[in-house]
Copies of this chain bind each other. A is one copy, B any other.
Amino acid sequence: MIAAQLHSIGDPTHLRVEEIPTPEPAAGEIRVRVRAAALNRRDAFITRGLYPGIALPCTPGSDGCGVVDALGAGVEGPRVGTEVVIDPMLGWGPDRRIWADGSGILGMPHPGTLAQFVCVPAGNVHAKPAHLDIAHAAALPLAGLTAYRALITRARLRAGETVLIPGIGSGVQSFALLLAKAVGARAVVTSSSDEKLARARALGADVTVNYASDPQWFKTLKNAATIDAAIDGSGGETFARVLDLVRPGGRVAIYGGTGGDAKIRPFSIFWKQLDVLGSSMGSPEDFRDLLALVSEKRIEPVVGALYPLAQVVAAVERLESGANFGKVVVTLE
């Protein structure tokens, strides 16, 4: 089969599309013929060596949608030919609060979805939401799961509340906006790009603030809304600002720290009695709940760009540019 392979670390140009053996499903596994695979920052980080425990060579790719191709021993369904999406969280374990030791994410070291075929545990394979095409369904798993757990399971966002989503445009933040609207919340979003803010308004954002062009953006935002909850994947100064913006008794979910260390005022946390809730990936229950909400509310993941597998390097570079709104999706024959 054809797959994207990483033989050495450096940058996305180290990815090569080449022929490797087609995997056989082990007992308890399902082989999925991948039709579309979405990219995540994790894939770019791996090409640069910015991820713990990198094992080479590897096939990256955590998000995939395709059709069931073969069932390993002991697996009874779904039937070959069924259109499915893959839960990228492997081995979460029985504790809903935290993953088990030895768990991991599909796409290094476990061979990932940037390949014509991928083998995963049967429990990770779920029917594709009927209203989504292959590319949009491929955009769902990792970003949707991350946003769902952070915003709904952890920060307990409810109808009628207002959520702050800083840095709209990334896959997770775009999902956070869709999920917030789906549960009946108001969404306040920020970006340095008027174009991204316009896209966000089209997706239902209630308040948009450009922190680059408005020197008073912090005050503008404070005056515009009472923030019940926030979701942040940046860390750094954004995280510190978010802590200052959320109302007393509010919740802040944090699922990443691409902006690095954060210098925070403990006062904001203890005086306002905030819940600051770390979140990472999601449990099997979170994934099922995400799929149920996506189907019930007919949520359409945001796909910002499509590339064939042969152009996977350009696809990862597009992701890294930060210019994209929504997911970068790689399509396979």
Q: Could you tell me which A residues sit within 8 Å of B by CB distance?
A: 95, 97-99, 154, 235-236, 239, 248-249, 254-257, 261-280
Q: With A271-B280, A273-B279, A278-B273 as given contacts, are A98 and B248 in contact (CB-CB < 8 Å)?
A: yes
Is there contact, CB below 8 Å, between A257 and B249? Answer: no
Is there contact, CB below 8 Å, between A270 and B257? Answer: yes
Is there contact, CB below 8 Å, between B254 and A266? Answer: yes
Is there contact, CB below 8 Å, between A249 and B280? Answer: no
Chain B nearest Cβ from A60, distance in angstroms: 20
Kindly state the separation between the CA atoms of A240 and B188 in the bound complex, as whole angstroms: 29
Kindly state the separation between the CA atoms of A311 and B273 in the bound complex, as whole angstroms: 35
Q: With A248-B98, A264-B262 as given contacts, are A279 and B275 in contact (CB-CB < 8 Å)?
A: no
Partner of A276, one of B235, B248, B249, B276: B276
Number of copies: 2
Is there contact, CB below 8 Å, between A249 and B279? Answer: no
Of all chain B residues, which has the CB nearest A150?
Answer: B270
Chain B nearest Cβ from A240, distance in angstroms: 9
Of all chain B residues, which has the CB nearest A273?
Answer: B278
Kindly state the separation between the CA atoms of A261 and B266 in the bound complex, as whole angstroms: 6
A266 cross-chain contacts in B, Cβ below 8 A: 235-236, 239, 254, 256-257, 261-262
A265 cross-chain contacts in B, Cβ below 8 A: 257, 261
A235 cross-chain contacts in B, Cβ below 8 A: 266-267
Of A275, A277, A278, most B-chain CB atoms within 10 Å: A278
Is there contact, CB below 8 Å, between A267 and B257? Answer: yes
Kindly state the separation between the CA atoms of A249 and B95 in the bound complex, as whole angstroms: 10
Kindly state the separation between the CA atoms of A263 and B97 in the bound complex, as whole angstroms: 26
15 more A-B residue pairs beyond the given contacts A256-B266, A263-B264, A274-B278, with a C-beta to C-beta distance below 8 A: A98-B273, A254-B266, A256-B270, A257-B265, A257-B267, A262-B264, A269-B276, A270-B278, A272-B278, A273-B278, A273-B280, A275-B275, A275-B278, A276-B277, A276-B278
Kindly state the separation between the CA atoms of A98 and B246 in the bound complex, as whole angstroms: 13
Chain B nearest Cβ from A79, distance in angstroms: 36
A269 cross-chain contacts in B, Cβ below 8 A: 254, 276, 278
Kindly state the separation between the CA atoms of A276 and B251 in the bound complex, as whole angstroms: 10
Q: With A97-B249, A270-B255 as given contacts, are A261 and B263 in contact (CB-CB < 8 Å)?
A: yes
A273 cross-chain contacts in B, Cβ below 8 A: 97-98, 154, 277-280
Is there contact, CB below 8 Å, between A98 and B262? Answer: no
Chain B nearest Cβ from A156, distance in angstroms: 11
Chain B nearest Cβ from A217, distance in angstroms: 21
Is there contact, CB below 8 Å, between A261 and B264? Answer: yes
A256 cross-chain contacts in B, Cβ below 8 A: 266, 270
Of all chain B residues, which has the CB nearest A269?
Answer: B278
Kindly state the separation between the CA atoms of A270 and B276 in the bound complex, as whole angstroms: 10
Of all chain B residues, which has the CB nearest A238?
Answer: B266
A267 cross-chain contacts in B, Cβ below 8 A: 235, 257
